[in-house]
């Protein structure tokens, strides 16, 4: 005979019970049954409260023990895995990731224990004004300058003298921006120098050092492998042919997946640990959300710097979408992940909240691409109509940009034959948006693959020809719209387009920063145009370095 009992809280430690109908249909329980049930329930409740009380008193110790136990279990697995097989990429991946994770955990523990001491030491080093430190800084600057100059002469000027045009481009941008700056006398050359120096160092490691290039290529392959998991959700929702609607179902699905994953990483504390170790000294400038308390106190120049940083970089979720357009050899050097961490009750809620928060981003991307592609088509039809009235054919927005922005593409080191095409892409990115530009670039990348397959299959490299910027394949009567770009020009275009700086983004950034700092709404519109120009040229300067140090393996 089973009795269903419900517990009524009558006080902090007193329980009341009421009986319900028996499971076998009898209307009530006997006194003996109730006494037995009361005794068992009180016993269970007492045990629960005792265990919970002990847990609350020793919560930290319990979790430290759990973490230690899980860590030991992992290292037992790791040791056996290394013993079982230490050959091939998967084993090396496990080894490298484990080493990096251990380093990350140790550094965060040290930072947690000695946070104040490390912060004070850092401030002393950075803010030191003593003569000896000044001499050390000057010597370091001179040493880095000599290294970069010698490297460029030996490794670029001798083997790839045509790449030096990118140095001229860098010099032109710096001179022009210095002349037209609000107050040239207040330009701080120290951060300018180190900004370029760091870019050169990273570029040398990635583009000219074989092992550095292979390491970042491996990392890019792993990221592409990770993002491909989004296909499973897209396939379930939209069917096996979801890639036929590439942008809507393939690209935007990656954004949703990435948001959800990052939200989980924030819940687990992984992102905070990573950011703290890698960029502790720039944590407050990582995203406007993180510097919200300081925005209202910032000067106009400081707000300009924040806006320029926003225009010159992209979000991590957007990077994932860009990678789906076509895998590139050169990874992005600066990525801004703007998803803010929130306090979630568990990891499932974090994943769900991350996916839900992507709705606005996905909708914004979708409607903007739809709108701007339609507007571009309308503008091109209008320009073509006006051109034909004067006897000129083929006048389009891209055609105009290909001439107006030709010098921009040329001084980044783009191959001469590709300058007009890269100038078109820059124009689309600046006046439309970066998504439309990357869509066009992805088509050009795909064209190169199609042309290679075509010439291999027919074994006749001369069986195709150019026609008004497009390639015609004679055997298959197929047109490759937009033609192709050289590998060098493709890499330069990838960097030049990789930013949030376009006309439409001005409204987005004004709205976002205006909401975070209402007191600055009158100032922001006055500097937004200069900020978008600065962000655009920041991307161009990165492309210049890529053009200077590019080496086709």
Backbone angles phi, psi at 476, to 5 degrees: -105, -5
Number of CB atoms found within 10 A of residue 499's CB: 26
Query: How many CA atoms lie within 13 Å of 424's alpha carbon, on the beta-carbon side?
Result: 22
Cα maximum dimension of the chain: 105
Please state the domain extents for the chain.
Answer: 5-57, 59-119, 146-370, 396-497
Contact (CB, 8 A) for 104 and 273: yes
What is the pLDDT confidence band of residue 157, given thresholds at 50, 70 and 90? confident
Both tokens assigned to 492: 């330069």
What is the pLDDT confidence band of residue 48, given thresholds at 50, 70 and 90? confident
pLDDT higher than 60, residue 12:
no
pLDDT of residue 15: 43
Question: Which among 54-58, 132-136, 164-168, 549-553 has the top mean pLDDT?
Answer: 164-168
What is the pLDDT confidence band of residue 500, given thresholds at 50, 70 and 90? confident
Comparing 479 with 251, the larger pLDDT belongs to: 479
> How far is 317 from 287, CA to CA, in rounded Å?
14
Comparing CA positions, the residue from 299, 284, 187 lying closest to residue 523 is 299
pLDDT of residue 213: 83
Backbone angles phi, psi at 338, to 5 degrees: -100, 0
Q: What digits encode the pLDDT tens for the residues 95-139?
A: 988 998 898 888 878 877 777 777 677 666 655 555 556 677 788
Helix, strand, or coil (residue 69): helix
Exposure letters 263-286 (e unless 16+ CB within 10 A, then b): bbbbbeeebebebbbeeeeeeeee
> How far is 509 from 107, CA to CA, in rounded Å?
35
Q: What digits encode the pLDDT tens for the residues 317-329?
A: 556 556 666 544 4
What is the pLDDT confidence band of residue 264, given thresholds at 50, 70 and 90? confident
Alpha-carbon distance values, 502 to 286, 416, 428, 497 (Å)? 20, 25, 9, 10
pLDDT of residue 320: 56
Q: What digits encode the pLDDT tens for the residues 441-464?
A: 989 999 998 888 888 887 765 688
Both tokens assigned to 427: 């124009």
For residues 369-388, give the mean pLDDT: 89
> Directed axis angle between helix 419-431 and helix 434-458, to 10°?
150
pLDDT of residue 311: 85
Both tokens assigned to 519: 């007191």
Comparing CA positions, the residue from 481, 497, 495, 287 lying closest to residue 396 is 481
Both tokens assigned to 125: 């080093």
For residues 24-45, give the mean pLDDT: 63
pLDDT of residue 460: 60
What is the pLDDT confidence band of residue 3, given thresholds at 50, 70 and 90? very low
pLDDT of residue 338: 36
Q: What digits encode the pLDDT tens for the residues 341-354?
A: 456 778 888 888 88
What is the pLDDT confidence band of residue 55, given thresholds at 50, 70 and 90? confident
What is the pLDDT confidence band of residue 291, given thresholds at 50, 70 and 90? low
Which residues have C-beta within 8 Å of that of residue 264, sequence separation ≥ 6?
A: 347, 350, 351, 354
For residues 166-189, give the mean pLDDT: 89
Alpha-carbon distance values, 184 to 176, 181, 189, 433, 525 (Å)? 11, 6, 11, 31, 22
Percent composition of the chain: helix, strand, coil (DSSP 3-state, to 5):
75, 5, 20
> How far is 336 from 439, CA to CA, in rounded Å?
21
pLDDT higher than 70, residue 284:
no
Q: pTM above the 0.75 mark?
A: no
Helix, strand, or coil (residue 467): strand
Percent of residues, the chain, with pLDDT higher than 70: 80
Helix H or strand E encompassing 24: none
Comparing CA positions, the residue from 500, 501, 497, 493 lying closest to residue 546 is 493
Both tokens assigned to 489: 């020009």
pLDDT higher than 60, residue 184:
yes
pLDDT higher than 70, residue 234:
yes
What is the pLDDT confidence band of residue 32, given thresholds at 50, 70 and 90? low
For residues 244-264, give the mean pLDDT: 83
Contact (CB, 8 A) for 275 and 283: yes
What is the pLDDT confidence band of residue 292, given thresholds at 50, 70 and 90? low
Comparing 13 with 444, the larger pLDDT belongs to: 444
> How far is 510 from 521, CA to CA, in rounded Å?
8
For residues 26-40, give the mean pLDDT: 60
Mean of per-residue pLDDT scores for the chain: 79
Q: Name the one residue in this structure whose structure tokens are 């023990």.
A: 65
pLDDT higher than 50, residue 539:
yes
> How far is 109 from 92, CA to CA, in rounded Å?
26
pLDDT higher than 70, residue 79:
yes
Contact (CB, 8 A) for 333 and 496: no
For residues 356-381, give the mean pLDDT: 84
């Amino acid at each position: 005979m089973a009795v269903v009992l419900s517990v009524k809280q009558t006080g902090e430690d007193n329980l009341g019970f009421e009986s319900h109908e028996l499971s076998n249909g009898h209307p009530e329980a006997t006194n003996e049954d109730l006494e037995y049930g009361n005794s068992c329930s009180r016993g269970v409740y007492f045990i629960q409260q005792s265990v919970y009380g002990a847990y609350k008193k020793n919560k930290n110790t319990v979790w430290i023990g759990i973490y230690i136990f899980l860590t030991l279990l992992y290292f037992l697995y790791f040791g056996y895995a290394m013993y079982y097989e230490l050959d091939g990429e998967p084993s090396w991946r496990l080894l490298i990731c484990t080493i990096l994770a251990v380093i990350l955990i140790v550094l965060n523990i040290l930072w947690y224990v000695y946070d104040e001491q490390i912060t004070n030491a850092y401030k002393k080093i950075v803010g030191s004004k003593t003569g000896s430190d000044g001499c050390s800084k000057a010597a370091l600057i001179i040493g880095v300058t000599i290294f970069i100059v010698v490297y460029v002469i030996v490794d670029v000027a001798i083997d790839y003298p045509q790449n030096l045009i990118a140095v001229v481009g860098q010099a032109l941008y710096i001179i022009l921006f210095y002349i037209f700056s609000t107050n040239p006398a207040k330009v701080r050359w120290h951060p300018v120098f180190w900004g370029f120096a760091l870019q050169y160092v990273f570029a040398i490691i990635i583009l000219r050092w074989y092992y550095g290039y292979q390491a970042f290529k491996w990392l890019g392959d792993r990221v592409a492998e990770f993002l491909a998991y989004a296909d499973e959700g897209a396939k379930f929702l939209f069917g096996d042919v979801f890639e036929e609607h590439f942008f809507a179902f393939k690209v935007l699905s990656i954004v949703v997946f990435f948001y959800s994953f990052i939200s989980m990483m924030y819940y687990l504390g992984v992102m905070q640990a990573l950011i703290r170790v890698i960029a502790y000294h720039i944590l407050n400038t990582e995203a406007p959300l993180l510097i919200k308390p300081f925005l209202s106190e910032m000067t106009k120049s400081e707000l300009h710097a924040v806006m320029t940083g926003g225009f010159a970089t992209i979000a991590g979720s957007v990077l994932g979408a860009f990678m789906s357009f076509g895998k590139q050899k050169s990874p992005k050097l600066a990525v801004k992940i703007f998803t803010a961490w929130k306090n979630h009750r568990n990891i499932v809620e974090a994943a769900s909240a991350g996916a839900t928060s992507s709705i606005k981003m996905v909708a914004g991307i979708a409607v903007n691409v739809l709108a701007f592609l339609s507007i571009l088509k309308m503008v091109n039809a209008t320009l073509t109509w006006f051109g034909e009235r004067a006897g000129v054919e083929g006048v389009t927005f891209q055609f105009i940009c290909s001439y107006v922005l030709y010098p921009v593409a040329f001084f980044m080191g783009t191959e001469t034959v590709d300058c007009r095409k890269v100038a078109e892409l820059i124009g689309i990115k600046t006046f439309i948006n970066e998504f439309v530009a990357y869509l066009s670039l992805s088509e050009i990348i795909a064209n190169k693959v199609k042309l290679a397959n075509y010439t291999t299959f027919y074994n006749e490299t001369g069986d195709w020809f150019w026609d008004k910027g497009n390639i015609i394949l004679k055997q298959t009567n197929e047109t490759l719209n937009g033609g192709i770009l050289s590998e060098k020009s493709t890499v330069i275009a990838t960097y030049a387009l990789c930013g949030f700086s376009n006309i439409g983004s001005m409204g987005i950034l004004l709205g976002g920063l205006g909401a975070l700092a209402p007191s600055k709404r009158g100032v922001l519109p006055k500097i937004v145009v200069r900020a978008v120009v600065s962000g655009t040229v920041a991307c161009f300067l990165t492309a210049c370095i890529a053009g200077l140090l590019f080496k086709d393996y």
